[in-house]
Amino acid sequence: MLTVEEALEKILEEVDVLGTEYVHILDSLGQVLAEDIKSSIDVPPLDNSAMDGFAVRAEDTRGADEKTPKYLKVTDTILAGSVSRQEVMPGTTMRIMTGAPIPKGADSVVQFEHTDSEKDKNAARAGIMEQARPGLNVRKAGENITRGAIALKKGTVIRPSEIGLLASVGYSKVKVIRRPVVAVLSTGNELVDVGNPLPEGKIYDSNLYAIASLVKRYGGIPKVLGLARDDEAELISKLKQAQDSDMVITTGGVSMGDYDMVKDIIARDGRMVFWKVRVKPGKPLAFGKIKGTDKSGRERTIPHLGLPGNAVSCMVSFELFVRPALLKMMGKKNIGKPTVLAILEDDIKNDAGRRIYDRAIIEKRNGHYYARLTGPQGSGILTSMALANGLVLIPEEKLTVKKGETVQALMLDWNEEVNV
Ligand code: AMP
Ligand code: MG
């Protein structure tokens, strides 16, 4: 049976970085830049004031202090966004607001707090009580970004600060690697969609919504296909609707049951790459490629991940195998979840001989990370997942891990909401 690492490698080999698109900057959060961003302007465009105060010629303030102010004639007021048409002549000054361009003649700004005119907007003269050096409180044109410089490099992951930077150089649209469209389909005769009454013997389909929201969380666009019964014709017809997507995820129907037919359909209609991974939860993971078409109708193959049906198994499999594939498709380089070393607060038995990922609450106390299990670890117990902010990893060969031992923990939520 493949190890987690071997299985992941096979998946990553079969997925490619997607093409590019132009999007409005506000829609680009989390995407990867597909072009260098060259600035056509200086940022800031002009020398401007870092303070509310008086624009002065530094030489006019020589010797000024609180006891011996230098008095200058006030000739203008410059607001942020406007330019004074006048010049600061010797012996004169202008009121200037933060961000307003430095007027001709001035080389420095004395903040209001160091003058006698803090309050009086209409004073005809100002007493300057500080000796300014040239450049005092002046933000130089281009000190942030100079015209012609690369403001952001191709390959950068766009975060809020990058979006701000794009706006500051005047970009409204940006070329990025597009988001993968991921078709999501649940399989099983027992499933009922939310919003309907629950007949005897049935359960609500939770995987569809958990998986679609994982797709969203990691930057993909879920294409929700709904659910299919364990019926070949119905499965095939539903999968037809996935033909133009970049990836297909099904849940259920990959175990040993009489009606587990997802892997047969992958094999018949496409190519199976592997079935089963040495991991718990999530052993019966199936991976293959099925036939699809691109936008212009040309044939291509689409990666199909057949996740196990159990509610926890499919989510853990997603974190381990689907997430890295999606990130690779989006052009990201850093595709692993952050991990920490944590001191275990429970004993864990490994009777499966597989790599175990147990749901845990990971907390930092006195400079150390601690991990405690979120209760029963059955692979259908979704509440154990809802309580967890991480997964502790027990190696394949290790039969028991005792309280107090240090284990590797994979962080699912890093500084996000933790429901404990
Ligand atoms: P399967 O792999 O199809 O045998 O499913 C394994 C277990 O997961 C069974 O108990 C199913 O009822 C359950 N299961 C399968 N699909 C879903 C789903 N979409 N939502 C919730 N539970 C599911
Ligand atoms: Mg089933």
Q: Which strand (E) or helix (H) includes residue 175?
A: strand 173-177
pLDDT confidence bin for 82, thresholds 50/70/90: very high
Indicate the top mutation candidate among 184, 187, 191 to test ligand 1's pocket, ranked by most ligand atoms within 8 A of CB.
191
How far, in Å, from the CA of 203 to the mean position of ligand 1?
A: 9
Residue 99 has pLDDT above 70, yes or no: yes
Pocket, ligand 1, Cβ cutoff 6 A:
186, 188, 190-191, 203, 205-208, 251-255, 257, 260, 308-311, 380
Cα gap 192→210, rounded to integer Å: 15
Residue 221 has pLDDT above 80, yes or no: yes
Residue 417 has pLDDT above 70, yes or no: no
Tell me the two tokens of residue 146.
Answer: 């100079």
Residue nearest to atom 14 of ligand 1 (CA): 309
pLDDT of res. 376: 92
Q: Count other Cβ atoms within 10 Å, centred on residue 163.
A: 17
User: Which atom of ligand 1 has the smallest separation from the CA of 190?
Assistant: 12
CA 110-115-116 angle, to 5 degrees, is: 160
Q: What is the mean pLDDT of residues 258-282?
A: 94
User: Which atom of ligand 1 has the smallest separation from the CA of 251?
Assistant: 16
Tell me the two tokens of residue 109.
Answer: 């700004």
pLDDT of res. 289: 97
Closest to 77 (Cα-Cα) out of 100, 48, 106: 100
Which ligand has the nearest atom to the CA of 188? 2
pLDDT of res. 387: 95
Q: Which strand (E) or helix (H) includes residue 325?
A: helix 323-329
Q: What residue spans of 183-322 are helical by DSSP H?
A: 207-217, 232-240, 262-269, 311-317
Condensed to tens digits (0 to 9), the pLDDT of residues 301-318 reads: 999 999 999 999 999 999
Q: How does strand 355-365 pair with strand 70-78?
A: unpaired
Indicate the top mutation candidate among 204, 250, 251 to test ligand 1's pocket, ranked by most ligand atoms within 8 A of CB.
251
Q: What residue spans of 86-229 are helical by DSSP H?
A: 160-168, 207-217
Q: What is the mean pLDDT of residues 263-269?
A: 91
pLDDT of res. 134: 98
Cα gap 84→77, rounded to integer Å: 8
Adjacent-strand bridge partners of 352: none
pLDDT of res. 219: 97
Task: Give the list of residues 6+ apart from residue 208 with CB closer than 8 angstroms, or none.
Answer: 184, 185, 186, 193, 224, 226, 227, 251
Return the percentage of the chain with pLDDT > 90, whole number: 94
Task: Give the list of residues 6+ apart from residue 8 with CB closer than 8 angstroms, or none.
Answer: 320, 321, 324
Neighbours of ion ligand 2 (CB under 5 A): 188, 252-253, 309
Cα gap 217→221, rounded to integer Å: 9
pLDDT of res. 119: 75
What interhelical angle do 262-269 and 232-240 show, nearest 10? 60
Q: Which strand (E) or helix (H) includes residue 4?
A: helix 4-13
Phi-psi region of 314 (alpha: psi -120 to 50; beta: other; left: phi over 0): alpha
User: Which atom of ligand 1 has the smallest separation from the CA of 254?
Assistant: 2
SS3 10: helix
pLDDT confidence bin for 92, thresholds 50/70/90: very high
Q: What is the mean pLDDT of residues 247-262?
A: 94
Residue 416 has pLDDT above 60, yes or no: no
Residue 333 has pLDDT above 80, yes or no: yes
Tell me the backbone φ, ψ of residue 231, rounded to 5 degrees.
-140, 125
Adjacent-strand bridge partners of 127: 71
pLDDT of res. 145: 98
pTM confidence score: 0.94
Residue appearing with tokens 């196990």 = 308
pLDDT of res. 297: 86
Kindly report the average pLDDT of the chain as a whole number: 96
How far, in Å, from the CA of 309 to the mean position of ligand 2?
A: 6
The sign one gets for the Cα dihedral 29, 35, 38, 39 is negative
How far, in Å, from the CA of 259 to the mean position of ligand 2?
A: 7
Which ligand has the nearest atom to the CA of 315? 1
Condensed to tens digits (0 to 9), the pLDDT of residues 151-185 reads: 999 999 999 999 999 999 999 999 999 999 999 99
Which ligand has the nearest atom to the CA of 229? 2
Residue 120 has pLDDT above 90, yes or no: no
SS3 339: strand
Residue appearing with tokens 């007493």 = 127
Closest to 414 (Cα-Cα) out of 329, 319, 307: 319
